[in-house]
Structure 1
Amino acid sequence: MREETMKPASESRTIMTQLIFPLDTNPYETMFGGKVMEYMDKVAAIAAMRHARMQAVTASTDSLDFLAPIRVGEVIEVEAFVTWTNRSSMEVYVSVSSENLFSGLRKTTVTAFFTFVGLDENGKPASVPTVIPTTDEEKKLHASAPERYALRKKRKQDRRVE
């Protein structure tokens, strides 16, 4: 494999920080799940495009797990990086942590895997660089990615309407 077609996962790492206001929350003063998902998709898209250096579109979202509520007045940090690649697809791991600015308490609130497809100038799937994991977290996610890929492929196949 040519060296220029391989990139470390760290090059795609993207982080966004947001303060959560009342308009971002439901009547229970916790953040709307859809709003969290919007932020996650945006950050994942940036990570995918940083990795591929081309347009990329969301193809799938899975294992979206809401682990704890995000409350009005907290700060969230949305972090994403490419964990694994196939020919034109990229798996992006996204995690959201919240922080109470007064107590300093931080917790992981949401995690998910997004799949993006790199597109050429004609909007057709294009080859993307292979990702190289370097940290323990990146290596663990990279090693388990083929199994998630196979499950996504099977799920997609099972849902096809003939």
Structure 2
Amino acid sequence: MPTLQETLIENREMVQPNHANNLETAHGGNVMLWMDEIGAMAAMRFSGETCVTAGVDQMDFRRPILVGDVAFISAYVYETGRTTSKVRIRTYREDLRTGEREKTTESVFTFVAIDENRKPTPVPELTIESEEGERLYQEALEYESHTE
């Protein structure tokens, strides 16, 4: 059975002018796309199946990401259903020169595992085997409770 920490996926996207709105900050749709892609990767790593987006809980855009900054995206599975995985996804503005990060966006996406016939298929049970995994799990539950 996969552990929570084994589902963790992290990636970076350099915010270029073609990703920006008229304020020269990352367009929210691009940030959401990046989050969706990384979240799907975490769900696929967990389930061992192709996963598609079933739902997006509240999207919290807290701060902009400027052109030239890096969007650092982190995602992990923290809860499962019969065929679904809930993935906590956070995006940070990262300055590569200093390593400084500032949270900009946060959400929970739900993904459905599908088989080769594109039908929902069961996912394994998620296990939490470390203090770090338990910390991430509790943080996700806390975030989720604030969005309800």
TM-score when normalising by structure 1: 0.80
TM-superposed CA distance for 1:88, in Å, is 0.5
Paired with 2:142 and 2:81, the residues of 1 have a C-alpha distance of: 14
Q: CA RMSD in A?
A: 2.1
- The superposition leaves residues 52-106 of structure 1 with CA deviations (integer Å, 9 ceiling, x where unpaired) of 0011110000121001110011111111110100111100010001113345431
Are 1:22 and 2:17 counterparts?
yes
The percent of aligned pairs where both chains have the same amino acid is: 34
8 A Cα contact 1:83 1:145, kept in partner? no
Are 1:80 and 2:75 counterparts?
yes
8 A Cα contact 2:108 2:144, kept in partner? no
Are 1:123 and 2:118 counterparts?
yes
Letter in 2 for 1:45: A
Equivalent position to 1:137, from 130, 135, 138: 135
Point out where structure 2 has 5 or more consecutive residues left out of the alignment: none
| 1:45-84 → structure 2 map (5 Å cutoff) | 45-84=40-79
Greater radius of gyration (CA): 1
* Matched pairs, number: 144
Distance of aligned partners of 1:144 and 1:127 in 2 relative to their CA distance in 1, 3 Å threshold: farther
8 A Cα contact 2:88 2:140, kept in partner? no
- Aligned counterpart, 1:94: 89
Point out where structure 1 has 5 or more consecutive residues left out of the alignment: 1-5, 152-162
TM-superposed CA distance for 1:112, in Å, is 0.5
TM-superposed CA distance for 1:143, in Å, is 5.0
Distance of aligned partners of 1:143 and 1:62 in 2 relative to their CA distance in 1, 3 Å threshold: closer
Letter in 2 for 1:140: Q
Paired with 1:145 and 1:32, the residues of 2 have a C-alpha distance of: 24
TM-score when normalising by structure 2: 0.87
Paired with 1:28 and 1:40, the residues of 2 have a C-alpha distance of: 21
- Aligned counterpart, 1:156: none
Paired with 1:147 and 1:111, the residues of 2 have a C-alpha distance of: 13
SS of corresponding position for 1:18: strand
